[in-house]
Structure 1
Amino acid sequence: MIATYGFTATITAKPGQGDQLVQVLLSALDAGNPGSTEYCVTFLISQSAANPDLIHVAEGWTSEADHHRVFAGPAAQAIVARIQELVADSTPYTDFVPRGGKAVLSA
């Protein structure tokens, strides 16, 4: 599948909650959760080396409609609720149209 829609966001966790926020975000990849669907083709969570409470999210989806549909579901809404409990501040999503690249990840 090819990503035709994506976004980035930077989230500041409540003090000392960065690692927990990373774990909740990565739980989106578990079976039955939004990141495990065929519509999510890129899902990258990064944590600032200088400030572990600063988290960066980059996602690529088959389409904007697929993203919105998946995130309207109960599994995604449960994760969003858990994330909101840990967030001190976040930037608005910056949407984009992927044009190419490469991602090699390890857990």
Structure 2
Amino acid sequence: MTVNYGFNATLTAKLGMGDQVVELLRSGLNEGNPAASEHCAVYLICRSASDPDVIHVTEGWTSEEEHHRLFATEAAKAIVAQFDELLAKDSDYTDYVPVVGKPSF
């Protein structure tokens, strides 16, 4: 599978809500949710070593169009809507186009 579109996010949870943010992100892997799609080749959730309320997410998709199509589904909208109550206002999102890489699987 070729990754043609990617997405990085640094999410800052409200104080003490990092665990809830991680669990919500993990639900994206459930059947019928975007990260469970065959078009999502990379879905990596990480936490800051120094602040458990800072979560980093990396996604790799077959195309930008597939990413947007899947995030327009009701399942994805339901997940995204829940972030408002969990996140501080200083979260950062960056999209990118991969140039080179190597999967380890």
Answer whether TM exceeds 0.5 for this pair. Answer: yes
The amino acid across from 2:97 in the alignment is V
- In structure 2, list runs of 5 or more residues that go unmatched: none
- Corresponding position of 1:38: 38
- Corresponding position of 1:64: 64
Q: CA deviation at 1:103?
A: 5.1
Deviations 1:25-53 (A, max 9, x none): 01100101110011111000101111000
- Corresponding position of 2:84: 84
Q: Is the 8 A contact 1:11 1:55 kept in 2?
A: yes
1:103/1:83 Cα in 2 relative to 1: closer, same or farther (>3 Å)? farther
Deviations 1:42-66 (A, max 9, x none): 0001011110000101100000000
State how many pairs are aligned.
Answer: 103
TM-score by length of 1: 0.90
The amino acid across from 1:46 in the alignment is C
2: distance between equivalents of 1:78 and 1:28? Answer: 10
1:103/1:81 Cα in 2 relative to 1: closer, same or farther (>3 Å)? farther
RMSD in angstroms over aligned alpha carbons? 1.2
Q: CA deviation at 1:94?
A: 1.4
Q: Is the 8 A contact 1:25 1:83 kept in 2?
A: no
- In structure 1, list runs of 5 or more residues that go unmatched: none
TM-score by length of 2: 0.92
1: distance between equivalents of 2:61 and 2:13? Answer: 25
1:78/1:25 Cα in 2 relative to 1: closer, same or farther (>3 Å)? same
Moved beyond 2 Å, runs of 4+ = 101-104
